[in-house]
Structure 1
């Protein structure tokens, strides 16, 4: 399978070797030997031909003779490394040219092999070179993937800062979807422990297309009873990493049977903790292939677990405060509502409270309702007051 580099350039499938030598017999022998060993071969007799070939096709390795017409192998290797720094080169040299070969290695040539060629030695050097190149490419791929995943986690973290409590559930499900798609798993989920810590629910879940959801089947589970090996590690705040469920040891036989019943081939479970207690776990399943997680990805998923835990605790706290507020408002409304029969003195019009004390009606209403008073005098009372004044102070 080919990979694009830049415009029309491609890296061909593994095992393609460019042999550079102006000796026809050597080219024929080397071509035959390499093809028998399973490699595909292309040939070039000089530096100009090498550079033209590299414009169209990039091999996995270049086997280059030091003695070439017009320009030596060291000069050609320098041009190749300037254009394509990642392609490995093995230099073929005579005993008298070993010093030049060492100089070539300083500028990035992988190794050198002396002529006359020992076939076994050459094949071993080629194999070792290609294996190293594969490792370099894999490390680079993982480095890039880790960087992309870090950016995704940063985006998720920033998003959660601005979520209201009623948006947290949907936020967790969206994050599980993004992480599941990025990592290529079949199922991602967050289990949450009950308040007493004895039961656990599959509260949030995302499944890849074609994978059966398990949310409805995983409610009120007691992991300590049926999955003690799994539960013990989570309660010790340990990451449970199972690259192959079929390889679980006998002490995890219950877990092996349980996971296989759900078509789980590989899984990763990361404990979610708060205040020194387990509150749930973040999980990822691979149902269609075995999967091994790198330490870097596991560490970042631990950060996701912390994000989810803090968000859920914030939601729980805000909901508890709202419930208490509603209770207080209901109690206050009940206290401030006048109802039932009120004992009023027929003579002085005072009211007796529930403790047996008599209060002015104005004072009682003020203490038992939201009513406020403004003071004035009605027309009838004003007329009576004027009559009393006229009687006391006659004109």
Structure 2
């Protein structure tokens, strides 16, 4: 039996009850405060203890809960800490989206389930079953390569067409490799290029990871069997913003090849229509390192404020003040109609334990450093 912890915000109580009922129908041990607490219990202490003892965590998330501080955000941060203590490759947490929110940078490396889609029960049952198998010491057995394409319905941002997700996976006794990327309906050379670039981003790493893992020597294989920790590489792509021919995507890459902990990173791709094509941050800033330094300087101020009082000033300052790292720090950007979002992977600016971070840069600042050929970019985005 899997010890499941269900976390949610008070405004989603009725939805939480529905999900709790389903979880109880497939797994008897579920902690849900409305059913698990009795009169006189210290709610916060009991909640924290149940979360600490859980084998599997389900968090219900929505746009509202990330727009304010509160207990739910504290629960999620605690879960992210607990994830790092789990065995490599453990399926410890699932985030269930209650609306079509944009996943925060810290969470995009985790597979999520959409409650507003019909398949959520099957997906949640599969996630619980996978965790149960892991707890039972089941080692992944040889399985054939699989590729599936799933059409996402209702994706009509700015009149854009439906997108599809292409999921690929290879599982053997010694490694697990998976990718999940976006594709769009063919609509001329520009969108053919977009689709090719998105597929290349995902499948290039996918094929490369398989090739690397096939080179495992006998000592590596012996350790994997002994500890039941197969090597792993995973790729998940998220649509960050789309309007007309403008598209910004953000991807999470997760890998483990034997070591103290797994690694993960954020990569981005930005397409600014046929007039501009695929644009890097160097393109946007015209290759001007002074402008890039101003951009990361803005980010530094935000991060210093974010971690004020935690004694991390030296880490942050050292990361941002050395100009040899400026372009790398600014490289992983996304855009939307409000501004730029700069993504920082673990180790970019802080120790690994602090995870990924993002800093939002409004257009009113960003437009002062854009290259002159992008002077009308914001107007086109909002046109």
TM normalised by structure 2 equals 0.27
**Which is richer in strand?**
2
Q: Which has the higher contact order (CA 8 A, sep 6+)?
A: 2
Higher gyration radius (CA): 1
